[in-house]
Structure 1
Amino acid sequence: MRRVEVVAPNFKRRLSGVTSTVVQLIPQQANALGIATLGPGLPRELPKMRWWQLPALFARPEGKPFRIWHARRNTEMLAGVVLKHVLRAPLKLVFTSAAQRRHRAYTKWLIRRMDAVVATSARSGSFLDVPHRVVMHGVDTERFHPPRAAEDRWEAAGLPGRYGVGCFGRVRHQKGTDLFVSAMIELLPRHPEWTAVILGRVTAEHRGFAEDLRRRIEAAGLAERILFLGEVPDVRPWYRRLSLYVAPSRNEGFGLTPLEAMASQTAVVASDAGAYAEMIEPGRTGQVVPAGDQAALTGAIEAYLADPETTAAQGKEARAHVCDAFALAREADTLRAVYEDLWTAPHP
């Protein structure tokens, strides 16, 4: 623990976008600084501190005047406030905000007690009332890479058609799964070489929503060309098999899936929810449409289905764009600069 300079708590057991960020980012950060996670449900290979090691936070780390507690949720901010301001642990508090809405009074109270605040996009930063720095999420361009082997080709999926279009994530209204299905019901009869896949979990409260979508697909006679594949052990080959990825969310915090798709050399059509509009270059790496606009989404998708060569060319541009602007190492380096500013600032 003396070598742990940064603690990244993760106080939510179920997988979420925040948890996914922690899982991908921490190993990259660990290449350059002493960092450990704290919390349940995280992979064993991540550097971790245990709950019984909490007393170690009351001693300064080796070579630093204090540790940094980097929170991403209200519960984690509250724990940091208690540790620093009530129990007097030598900590500085950092909070990353992805929310794209006005914060409630309680959250604002917590944020005002942070020593540094990071926004994951310019849009999320516009809802903050305190000084902040924009640090957009990155993606591991080694884990998410272009097709390299036969298993990365559409043919390996064993599904109909020559090209795949997909929508990944939890199946629910917020994610716009119904918008994707409606677009596919309209478009696939006109584009017989394409098949659509939907990957992601259906939770109990959204089972009725998913069943209604399946009934609509059956009624359209497209059950063999619009497929629900559920959760898969590894989503990465599916990104590589697709020619087009669609992210039709009605609202998002940040949203990593378009970056993962683009890093896999796949063009993207996305809504302007989350940070999607800040990561996609329209006409070069994909297209952005207003969130919830069925006609705009369907029209944007059809342009790609009708022109597979342009779709493939934009996929290559998307890969180059992500490597240049959204590599995970870039995010880790920028966050380290935030930490260094705190460590080197004058302090009592």
Structure 2
Amino acid sequence: MPDIGNVEVIVPNFKIRLSGVTSTIIQLVPVQTRLGQKIATIGPGLPASLPALRWRDLLALWSPPAGKHHRVWHARRNIEMLPGLVMRDLLRMKLKLVFTSASQRKHSGWTKFLISKMDAVIATSAKTATYLERPSTVIMHGIDPERFSPPTDMALAKSTLGLDPTRHYAGCFGRVRHQKGTDLFVESMIRLLPDRPDWSAIIAGRAVGKHQAFEDGLRARVAAAGLSDRILFVGEHTNINDWYRTLDLFIAPQRWEGFGLTPLEAMATAVPVVATDVGAFSEQLQNRDGETGTLIAIDDLDGMTQAAARYMDDAPLRQTVGNAGRRNVLANFSIETEARSLGAIYSSLV
């Protein structure tokens, strides 16, 4: 339990269900702590390993930490900006408010109002910054290139997870729903696998609530195609980095995305990527004529199928593009770089 008197940055998480924002917090805070940032979380849905404040610790926010004029309240959702605003402006607590936006859509009037009251705003991509009606700093998400790293023995990586070590696997990871384009991945595999008997496909992720019928429909489509033993729905896993190590190709078929980490996770694992032009995917792939992966249009099933076929049928290409993707992540998308950039914003405020 951290001493509130020493905490300079508070990261609220006011959503219980796991989401991309929650995952970002879980991955970033340990790195920020390791770098010496005096940071703590507050709220449900986070692992006990993270430094966490109690609700009553908020009563101490009228006094800044030693040697500082303010603390930072770093929000990533509307429901986290609002309490920060109340504490700073109504209760007169010694806070500076930071908001990170990953959204690539027009904001509601309420969200615009909240953002306008922040002391600093961070956009997770250049695209995102264009939707903000105020100055912002672009700090792109990074990942841990040690956690997401190529296997030393791919056959062993596959067999460890119960997969056939002699087969090639194409993967699509994330929530199973229409927005994520899981149906496009399934349809492309139904087209491609019959002519490629040494390939199979993995869908890692789960359908929640109203999306369960969508997954059920996909499973029925796979069964009707006679591919239930080759298009595998493996569910949600906390050791998703191990599943990336089983892949020979990764496809990110999203129809919409705020930022999206899966292409970075695949590239860090030296897996070639086919991704739709949504979220920050074009910025992640650097859009260098296919050097670090292939970008396709949204909802372009034919383009997805053709791009996947090209990689499936060319092992040297998979290796070349996979290695280039890993170098791209190491150079531009390290989570430590993200943490240091956030630390510079905090220091400028407190």
The TM tier, using the shorter chain, reads: over 0.9
Tell me, in whole angstroms, the C-alpha distance in 1 between the residues paired with 2:160 and 2:316: 20
Q: Which amino acid aligns with 1:13?
A: I
2:25 maps to a residue whose letter is V
**How far 1:149 sits from its partner (Å)?**
4.5
1:269 aligns with 2:274: yes
Asked whether the 8 Å contact 1:68–1:92 carries over to 2, the reply is yes
Aligned residues: 343
Question: Structure 2 residue aligned with 1:301, among 297, 308, 318?
Answer: 308
2:339 to 319, 325, 332: 332
| 1:91 corresponding residue in structure 2 | 95
- Which deviations, in whole Å up to 9, do the C-alpha atoms of 1:42-92 show, x marking residues without a partner? 011111111111111111111211001000000100011000000000011
For 1:205 and 1:294, the matched residues in 2 are separated by 24
2:29 corresponds to 1:26: yes
Q: Sort the Cα spacing of 1:233 and 1:119 in 2 relative to 1 into closer, same or farther, 3 A.
A: closer
Asked if the contact 1:151/1:237 (under 8 Å) is kept, the reply is no
Instruction: Say whether 1:105 aligns with 2:141.
Output: no
- SS at 1:144 equivalent: coil
Alignment deviations for residues 135-166 of structure 1 (CA, whole Å, 9 cap, x no partner) = 00000112111103467533444435521110
> Partner residue of 1:194?
199
SS in 1 for 2:84: helix
1:210 alignment partner, one of 184, 206, 215: 215
Query: Which 4+ stretches in 1 moved above 6 angstroms?
Result: none
Name the residue aligned to 1:164: 169
Alignment of 1:192-271 (within 5 A): 192-271=197-276
Query: Which residue in 1 is equivalent to 2:120?
Result: 116
Could you say which residue in structure 2 is the equivalent of 1:310?
A: 317
SS at match of 1:180: helix
1:267-301 CA-partner distances (Å, limit 9, x unpaired): 11111111111101442221111111111111111
Cα 1:313/1:157, change in 2 over 3 Å:
farther
1:158 and 1:77 map into 2 onto residues whose CA distance is: 44
CA deviation vs aligned residue, 1:198-227 (integer Å, no higher than 9, x gap)? 011122311211111111111111111111
5+ residue gaps in structure 2?
none
**2:206 aligned partner, one-letter code:** R
* Aligned-partner Cα distance in 2 for 1:93–1:205: 35
Unpaired runs of at least 5, structure 1: 344-348
CA contact (8 A) 1:262 1:318 kept: yes
Which of 190, 193, 210 is the equivalent residue of 1:185? Answer: 190
| CA apart distance, 1:234 | 1.2
Distance (whole Å) between structure 2 residues aligned to residue 152 and residue 254 of structure 1: 32
Tell me whether 82-91 or 27-36 shows the greater mean CA deviation. 27-36
Normalised by the length of structure 1, the TM-score is 0.96
- Counterparts of 1:238 and 1:15 in 2: how far apart (Å)? 19
Deviates more, 1:145-154 or 1:135-144: 145-154
- Which is worse superposed, 97-106 or 137-146? 137-146
**CA 1:175 to 1:50, structure 2 compared with 1: closer, same or farther past 3 Å?**
same
Distance 2:315 2:194 in 1: 16
Compute the displacement of 1:233 (Å): 4.0
Contact 1:164 1:241 (8 Å CA) reproduced: yes
**Conserved? CA contact 2:158–2:246, under 8 Å:** yes
**Residues 154, 163 of structure 1: 8 Å contact kept:** no
Q: Which residue of 2 aligns with 1:346?
A: none
- Percent identical pairs in the alignment equals 51
1:282-293 alignment runs, 5 A limit: 282-293=289-300
State yes or no: 1:66 paired with 2:70: yes
Q: Take 1:295 and 1:69, find their aligned partners in 2: how far apart are those partners?
A: 46
> Please, what TM-score do these two structures have when normalized by structure 2?
0.95
Q: Is the 8 A contact 1:159 1:195 kept in 2?
A: no
